[in-house]
């Protein structure tokens, strides 16, 4: 008699490559990337890079980041989410430019405490998301997307 197997999940782990790079990787899969959500942990000066796919250029693109702890003092400032174009991506990866200087959209505190949103009204793919923690206090985060999906 065979036993039922567990269904496969759509969760993928971002791996270092030009398409998805994680600086200062940890032993655990960090961040955990699925089509609709990214869950990660950022230490001081750590950045996570996540490609976007399936973005419809005729609909707004919104990425929301929920920070834990919600009262993190740097949320929306030194702890933030950026949407970057492929041109911005090249500057960040090849030239070492900080996403704060090379981005199409930066996150802003929206709604409840600890919620940060970055939106583009008329996206022109391809796009990438960069999550940055330049604050000494580490943080956990969850990203969600309204148009398209995370990963390739």
Q: Is the pLDDT of residue 148 over 50?
A: yes
pTM (two decimals): 0.79
The single residue listed with the structure tokens 């200087």 is: 101
pLDDT at 19 over 90: no
Q: Does 95 score more than 80 pLDDT?
A: yes
Is residue 47 pLDDT above 50, yes or no? yes
- Cα angle for residues 86, 35, 111 (degrees, 5° grid): 85
The 10s digit of each residue's pLDDT in 81-93 is 999 999 999 999 8
CB atoms within 10 A of CB 13: 15
Residue 110 falls in which region: left (phi positive, over 0), alpha (psi -120 to 50) or beta: beta
pLDDT on residue 29:
63
Percentage of the chain lying above the pLDDT 90 cut: 62
pLDDT for 102-144, tens place per residue?
Answer: 888 999 998 899 999 999 999 998 999 999 999 999 999 999 9
Q: How many CB atoms lie within 10 A of CB 66?
A: 17
């Amino acid at each position: 008699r065979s036993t039922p197997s567990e269904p496969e999940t759509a969760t993928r782990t971002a791996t270092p490559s030009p398409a998805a790079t994680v600086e200062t990787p940890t032993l655990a899969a960090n961040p955990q990337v699925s089509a609709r959500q990214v869950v990660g942990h950022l230490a001081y000066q750590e950045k996570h890079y996540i490609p976007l796919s399936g973005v419809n250029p005729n609909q707004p693109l919104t990425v929301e980041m929920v920070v834990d702890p919600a009262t993190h003092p740097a949320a929306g400032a030194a702890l933030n989410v950026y949407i970057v174009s492929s041109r911005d991506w090249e500057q960040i990866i090849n030239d070492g430019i900080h996403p704060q200087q090379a981005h199409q959209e930066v996150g802003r505190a929206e709604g409840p405490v600890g919620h940060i949103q970055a939106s583009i009204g008329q996206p022109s793919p391809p796009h990438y998301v960069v999550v940055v923690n330049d604050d000494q206090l580490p943080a956990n985060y969850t990203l969600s997307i309204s148009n398209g999906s995370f990963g390739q």
